[in-house]
Amino acid sequence: MTDPLAEVVSLLRPGVRVTKIVGGAGRWSVRRAETGQPSYCVVLDGRCRLAIEGSPELILEPGDFVLIPATWNFAMSSVEAPQPHEADAPPVAARGPGEFRLGEQDGAPDVRFVIGHCVFDSPDASLLVSLLPRFVHVQGEARLALLAQLVGDESRERRPAREVVMARLLEVLLIEALRSAPGTAAAPGLVRALADTRLAQALRRMHEAPARAWTMAELAQQAALSRSAFFARFSRAVGRAPMEYLLAWRMALATSLLRRGACSIAEVAQQVGYSSASTFSVAFARHVGVPPARYVREAALAA
């Protein structure tokens, strides 16, 4: 059976950019803004605050894991609010490899956490990230802490096949984080919808057969709901209407197929549910911003 979550993460092609262990003591804060790249954090010891723009502030405890698929304006700080002169000071390299310190430099840290800044190598990552929650907060999952530690350890070593191993570990880490998120508490997106058994059935069918000419009535039937109930429930869980989601998934598949160059534009059109290359080209240009032929040329030049 098709796994929508695994498909989305696989197409994103995650990679590790930076991973480090950070300790904080006294009062401190650090801000990260508008990178558009994924970040994650797992608290090893102690407590700290996390403020994500547009969401309630969180107090992170040991074992808490946070994933932000596209980083836009978040700040971490000591539990005790820092003074203005103590805010946004960059972390200082500590003695251990890949370890950094925030706030007071002497003595034992009040909090220690692993933080990773990643990259999605898919040139069309924004299409796929839009299907995921804005952020995921998971508590008490030891597997996530272990996976984050493995990613960090591998990033600091120079072993053979290091990049391949890190990419695979990060892929597992992202899937584990996304599927561990409590469905009802997750931000709108694919994760919340997959936690709903009825919506999950409809989503799996969309992913299994993206070329099928789905109607709202057929998708509602897959979820064993009336059309109006399905539309409302899906839109609330995913953050977009069913047909909007289906279009986004078809375009994500189309961009991946076009970049691989194994199919003609007409064949890609057929595989993602369009009866002709011309109707596909119009939809593709509207959604992606350029016609598929130009997209292929630009992809070839960038390769």
Q: What is the DSSP secondary-structure string of 119-173?
A: EE--TTHHHHHTTS-S-EEE-S-HHHHHHHHHHHHHHHS--TTHHHHHHHHHHHH
How confident is the model at residue 47, as a pLDDT? Answer: 95
Closest by CA to 145, choosing from 69, 58, 41, 39, is 41
Which sign, positive or negative, has the C-alpha torsion 221, 222, 223, 228?
A: negative
Whole-number Å distance between alpha carbons of 52 and 7: 27
Whole-number Å distance between alpha carbons of 130 and 135: 11
Per-residue pLDDT of the chain (303 residues; tens, 9 = 90+): 578 888 888 888 888 777 888 999 999 988 877 666 788 888 888 999 998 887 888 999 988 888 888 766 788 999 988 777 666 777 787 766 668 899 888 888 999 998 888 888 887 787 778 778 888 888 888 888 888 888 877 877 778 887 788 888 888 888 888 877 665 455 678 878 888 999 999 999 999 999 999 999 999 999 999 999 999 999 999 989 999 999 999 999 999 999 888 789 999 999 999 999 999 999 999 999 999 999 999 888 876
* Alpha-carbon separation of residue 163 from 68, 159, 169, 199, 216 (angstroms): 22, 9, 10, 36, 43
What are 50's strand-pairing partners?
58, 76
How buried is 188 (Cβ within 10 angstroms: 0-12 exposed, 13-18 middle, 19+ buried)?
middle
231 alpha-carbon distance from chain centroid: 24
Residues whose CB is less than 8 angstroms from the CB of residue 216 and which lie 6 or more positions away in sequence, other chains included: 227, 230, 231, 242, 243
Single-letter amino acid, residue 17: R
Whole-number Å distance between alpha carbons of 202 and 259: 28
Single-letter amino acid, residue 28: W
How confident is the model at residue 294, as a pLDDT? Answer: 95
Complete domains list, the chain, with CATH: 4-180 (2.60.120.10), 196-302 (1.10.10.60)
How confident is the model at residue 21, as a pLDDT? Answer: 85
Whole-number Å distance between alpha carbons of 106 and 127: 45
In our burial notation (b when 16+ CB lie closer than 10 A, e otherwise), range 86-101 reads beeeebeebeeebbbb
* Alpha-carbon separation of residue 58 from 17, 30, 64, 180, 261 (angstroms): 25, 15, 10, 18, 45
How confident is the model at residue 187, as a pLDDT? Answer: 66
Rg (Cα) of the chain, in Å, rounded?
21
Phi (first) and psi of residue 263, to 5 degrees: -130, 150
How confident is the model at residue 184, as a pLDDT? Answer: 46
Whole-number Å distance between alpha carbons of 145 and 124: 29
* C-alpha neighbours within 13 Å on the C-beta side of residue 194: 22
Q: Which pTM does this prediction carry? A: 0.72
How confident is the model at residue 97, as a pLDDT? Answer: 62
